[in-house]
Amino acid sequence: MGRADFTYDFPHDRLITVDDLNPLDIQILFERAEHWHGVNQSPDKKHDTLKGLTQINLFFEPSTRTLASFELAGKRLGADVVNFSTSNSSTKKGETLADTARTLAAMHPDLIVVRHNASGAATFIHNETGIATVNAGDGMHSHPTQGLLDLFTLTRHFGDVGGKRVLIVGDILHSRVARSDVGMLNLLGAEIRLCAPPTLLPTDVDRWGAEIFHDLDDALDGCDAVITLRLQKERMSGALIPSVREYFHFWGLTTRRMEFANADCVVLHPGPMNRNVEIESTLADNAERSLILEQVEAGVAVRMAVLEQLGLRARKNARPGS
Amino acid sequence: MTPITIRNARVVDPATGRDELASLRIVNGLIDDIGEGIAQDDDHIIDANGAILAPALIDLRAAIEPSFTPGGETLDSLARAAASGGVGTVVISPTSSMPIDAPETVMALRAGLRPMPVRTLISAGATRNLGGETLSEIGLMATSGAAFISQGDCPIANTTTLRSLFSYASGFELWVACPARDAGLSHATVATESEAAARFGLTLEPTVSERMAIDRDATIAELTGARLMIDRVSTRDGIEALSRARKRGIEICSTVSIANLAFNSVDADGLDPAFRLTPPLRSEEDRRALVTAIENGLIDAVVSDHRPLDLDLKAQPFADAAPGSTGLEVLLAAMLRLVHEAELDLVSALRPLTSGPAELLGLPQGRLEAGAPADVVLIDGDAPWVYDVSDSASTRRNSAWEGRRFQGRVLMTMVDGGIVYNLKG
């Protein structure tokens, strides 16, 4: 049954994790993302969908691409967008997160986009303010728009990711991206594989509905897509991984290794890349294999779709005159 | 190469339980057949005159010294000492002076091993400088040929690091050898806590240090799925901890140092620095518990813990002397002594020197069977002799075994079908 056959309003007043979404929600978001994806390629990018609404991007972690992506998305939808980032936030002056949230709420924004290094921060902000909140990454927990954009990219590439064999390789333990991607892949019926050294796998990983590998060559066998995760610099110092060269030798994605995967297997990376750490430089630049720039493009469209749904609902639910 | 038949031998093989008078035929470095009347016309014949023919020994723990150390033990001198002791395969272990903690070191050692008379394997340092803080390049060292990894004599204090190490190594299915000592309780100790030792005013290690280390390491192994090698259990407390861990189904194995089987703390009561060892010598009760554990199959390997040292480091007051003794040349003789004293039967004594360590590392040698490598040792089980360190093939003279009387001596050692040691020259 298609969506046209009955009325369904996007029911959420926040986006904390992809686990909150059902297949119909995702269908709505992907349809709207596809719309905005086309609009973004035209010279007439600015629209007034969210005109009159205020969007605050509250970033407690350094970010370039995600912040820019959310800022562009809000502006192209006609919202007024304000960025607060760590360098100029009051937390540096000792303010608690609760006070920051209440202070911002008093300025009556309609949408808050939040990134924070503590798992649960986005839920906390939403509970404190009641304002529509988009989680732009909270600790090691969740990064739902990344999960949406990765699957939107794969869906555009394959038509349907159902039954496709998708491998996620890298630092799964510390990755909110991996958790969000796995949630989406499960929902859309992909066959999921995870590959990492045991020190970079969470202890509950056997309940993720994925097949676990330590050997990358084995993991790549028959894959249709590989998502490589960023290995953060502080993980390379010997507590969990002996060295960069050992990591690259066993878990770095290379053109030679890709021969174990299907001939048309594609490569994704959430960025920013460490060249020759998690991915061979020449492979990242291989236009036939790499969907990395497509992911960036999809990111703006997907975030527009999310902000649009939450913004329209916020406007509809606002008390007149308040 | 002319086939060789060793006839009239008492063929003893712990792997198969064989103990019978028979011949053993060797073709192209492999055991071709075992039985009666198997010699063929052109074979080179060795008459064993009823001597014991067993698999050559496999020693999981011996050390060399860094290249260009004045008077230092080299691979070459170590291999000659091993061959004269009936050892056909020896594992080079990491030490603080030579931590073997990089793939380049493993590759260099393996490149140097090829012309050696005995087979030499590497156990690589599990953490950088054995410091217990930073993982060494375990995967690359395994790729370069390391047989397993080891923390040497340095216990890891931090349990988070231990967890990472075990977890990481489990991905490569490598044994991780951990010294059975608690980093805090054993720090700077030189002997076992006892009334006698207390009178000497030494810093002492309680035996619970070993028990705690085994309990802790086994618990973390259970959490991570690591393969844990308890490196040199030495006390009854330790044996009990090991036994508990085995009952929980943890993948765990253990070794015992020959010194802890042959000596007890009374031997060290004269404060002779030759008996300054790690683990320290224990009570007679502890020693007997180790013998019983071997009899019960709880111990996988007995090791020489061969530790060559400059005598200047050894010629110090007991507490200041560097710990360790050479041991490759007496490993077999010291075990046979336990057989003569009716503490162990011959097969039980040979098992942790042959098939036990072979099974741990998945080696084809260490057994007498058609198709296995012809690594064998011929032993006069009764010959009396006295160990004289000045005759040692090792370049070092620090030995707790100097002047020790033995009954049972290596006559000949063969590796890969070639004679690498012959008592009669």
Q: Are residues B185 and B260 in the same domain?
A: yes
- Phi, psi for residue B268 in degrees, rounded to 5: -90, 0
Domain boundary among B361, B381, B413: B361
d(CA B266, CA B244): 29
Q: Which residues lie below 8 Å from residue A1, measured CB to CB, with a gap of 6+?
A: none
Residue B44 belongs to what domain range?
4-53+373-422
Which strands sit side by side in the sheet containing B87-92, from one edge to the other? B57-62, B87-92, B119-125, B148-150, B175-179, B227-231, B252-257, B301-303
Minimal CA separation from A235 to chain B, in Å: 12
Residue B26 burial by CB count (10 A; 0-12/13-18/19+): exposed, middle or buried?
A: buried
Nearest to A198 among B136, B143, B170 (CB): B170
- Phi, psi for residue B13 in degrees, rounded to 5: -135, 105
Partners of residue A115 on adjacent β-strands: A59
Taking contacts as CB-CB distances below 8 angstroms, the residues of chain B near A238 are: 128, 133-135
Look at residue B112 in the predicted model and tell me its pLDDT: 67
Residue A59 burial by CB count (10 A; 0-12/13-18/19+): exposed, middle or buried?
A: buried
- Which of A165, A215, A218, A168 lies closest to A189 in space, CA to CA? A165
d(CA A19, CA A289): 29
Q: Are residues B258 and B344 in the same domain?
A: yes
Best of A214, A243, A247, A251 to substitute, by most chain B Cβ atoms within 10 angstroms, is A243
Interface contact flag, A245 B137, Cβ < 8 Å: yes
Q: Let me know if residue B49 belongs to a domain.
A: yes
B42 pLDDT band, cuts 50/70/90, is very high
Interface contact flag, A199 B164, Cβ < 8 Å: yes
- Lowest-confidence region among A146-155, B104-113, B323-332, B339-348: B104-113
Taking contacts as CB-CB distances below 8 angstroms, the residues of chain A near B139 are: 242, 246, 249-250
What share of chain B has pLDDT > 70, as a percent? Answer: 99
Q: Are residues B167 and B20 in the same domain?
A: no
Question: Taking residues B318-334, what's their average pLDDT?
Answer: 97
Q: Chain B contact for A199, CB < 8 A?
A: yes
Domain CATH number, residue B189? 3.20.20.140
Q: Are residues B253 and B398 in the same domain?
A: no
- Lowest-confidence region among A292-301, B172-181, B262-271: B262-271
The half-sphere exposure of B266 on its side-chain side, counting CA atoms within 13 A, is: 7
Predicted confidence (pLDDT) at residue B148 exceeds the cutoff of 60: yes
Q: Let me know if residue B368 belongs to a domain.
A: no
For residue B163, give the chain A residue with the closest CA: A199
Interface contact flag, A242 B136, Cβ < 8 Å: yes
d(CA B360, CA B374): 19
Sign of the Cα torsion B220, B226, B232, B236 reads positive
Q: Chain B contact for A119, CB < 8 A?
A: no
Nearest to A246 among B139, B160, B161 (CB): B139
Interface contact flag, A240 B171, Cβ < 8 Å: no
d(CA A312, CA A52): 11
Q: Chain B contact for A214, CB < 8 A?
A: yes
Q: Let me know if residue B144 belongs to a domain.
A: yes
- Lowest-confidence region among A3-12, A66-75, B115-124, B256-265: A3-12
Q: How many domains does chain B have?
A: 2
DSSP string, A247-292: HHHHH-B-TTGGGGS-TT-EEE--S---BTTTB-HHHHT-TTTB-H
pTM: 0.93
Look at residue B225 in the predicted model and tell me its pLDDT: 94
* CB distance B278 to B323 below 8 Å: yes
Q: Are residues B210 and B248 in the same domain?
A: yes
Q: How far apart are the first and last CA of chain B?
A: 21
DSSP string, B188-219: T--EE--HHHHHTT--EE-THHHHHHHHHHHH
Taking contacts as CB-CB distances below 8 angstroms, the residues of chain B near A195 are: none
Q: Are residues B34 and B86 in the same domain?
A: no
Sign of the Cα torsion A99, A104, A110, A115 reads negative
Task: List the domains of chain A with CATH numbers.
Answer: 3-142+297-317 (3.40.50.1370), 144-290 (3.40.50.1370)
For β-strands B18-27 and B30-35, DSSP reports them as antiparallel
Interface contact flag, A214 B171, Cβ < 8 Å: yes
Instruction: Say which amino acid occupies B303.
Output: V
Q: Are residues B115 and B164 in the same domain?
A: yes
For residue B170, give the chain A residue with the closest CA: A198
B278 pLDDT band, cuts 50/70/90, is very high
Tell the residue number behind the tokens 């170590």, with chain if given: B78
Q: Let me know if residue B191 belongs to a domain.
A: yes
* CB distance A147 to A25 below 8 Å: no
Look at residue A239 in the predicted model and tell me its pLDDT: 87
Q: Let me know if residue B143 belongs to a domain.
A: yes
Q: Let me know if residue B367 belongs to a domain.
A: no
Look at residue A1 in the predicted model and tell me its pLDDT: 45
Q: Which residues lie below 8 Å from residue B156, measured CB to CB, with a gap of 6+?
A: B127, B132, B162, B165, B178, B183
Q: Are residues B308 and B395 in the same domain?
A: no
Look at residue B114 in the predicted model and tell me its pLDDT: 62
What share of chain B has pLDDT > 90, as a percent? Answer: 94
For residue A249, give the chain B residue with the closest CA: B140
Domain CATH number, residue B39? 2.30.40.10
Look at residue B25 in the predicted model and tell me its pLDDT: 98
Interface contact flag, A239 B134, Cβ < 8 Å: yes
Predicted confidence (pLDDT) at residue B212 exceeds the cutoff of 50: yes
Domain boundary among B337, B361, B385: B361
d(CA B337, CA B331): 10
Q: Let me know if residue B116 belongs to a domain.
A: yes
Interface contact flag, A238 B143, Cβ < 8 Å: no
Interface contact flag, A243 B164, Cβ < 8 Å: no
Q: How far apart are the first and last CA of chain A?
A: 39
Best of B167, B170, B174 to substitute, by most chain A Cβ atoms within 10 angstroms, is B167
d(CA A135, CA A125): 10
Nearest to A197 among B133, B160, B171 (CB): B171
Domain boundary among B317, B341, B361: B361
Q: Can you list the alpha helix ranges (DSSP code H) found in B302-405? A: 311-314, 331-340, 346-350, 355-361
- Phi, psi for residue A136 in degrees, rounded to 5: -100, 25
Q: Are residues B17 and B126 in the same domain?
A: no
Q: Are residues B32 and B138 in the same domain?
A: no
Using beta carbons and an 8 Å cutoff, which residues of B are at the interface with A?
128, 133-140, 143, 160-161, 164, 167-168, 170-172, 224-225
Q: Let me know if residue B178 belongs to a domain.
A: yes
- Which of B411, B409, B364 lies closest to B15 in space, CA to CA? B364
Q: Chain B contact for A252, CB < 8 A?
A: no
List chain A residues with pLDDT less than 50: 1, 322
Q: Which residues lie below 8 Å from residue B20, measured CB to CB, with a gap of 6+?
A: B10, B11
- Phi, psi for residue A212 in degrees, rounded to 5: -105, 135
Q: Are residues B31 and B119 in the same domain?
A: no
Look at residue A321 in the predicted model and tell me its pLDDT: 53
**What confidence tens digit (pLDDT) does each residue in B56-101 have?**
999 999 999 998 999 999 999 999 999 999 999 999 999 999 999 9
Question: Taking residues B24-39, what's their average pLDDT?
Answer: 96
- What's the 3-state SS for B41-63? CCCEEEECCCCEEEECEEEEEEC
Question: Measured in whole angstroms, how far is the alpha carbon of residue B173 from the centre of its chain?
Answer: 21
Best of A172, A174, A199 to substitute, by most chain B Cβ atoms within 10 angstroms, is A199
* CB distance B93 to B62 below 8 Å: yes
* CB distance A60 to A24 below 8 Å: no
- Phi, psi for residue A185 in degrees, rounded to 5: -65, -40
**C-alpha distance from residue B10 to each of A151, B16, B379 (Å):** 71, 14, 9
Query: What average pLDDT does the structure give for chain B?
Result: 96
Q: Chain B contact for A243, CB < 8 A?
A: yes
Q: Are residues B30 and B102 in the same domain?
A: no
* CB distance A51 to A79 below 8 Å: yes
Tell the residue number behind the tokens 């732009």, with chain if given: A136
Q: Which string of b and e fits A24-56 if b means at least 16 CB within 10 Å?
A: ebbebbbebbbebbeebeeeeeeeebbeebbbb
Best of A246, A250, A251 to substitute, by most chain B Cβ atoms within 10 angstroms, is A246
Interface contact flag, A239 B128, Cβ < 8 Å: no
Look at residue A322 in the predicted model and tell me its pLDDT: 47
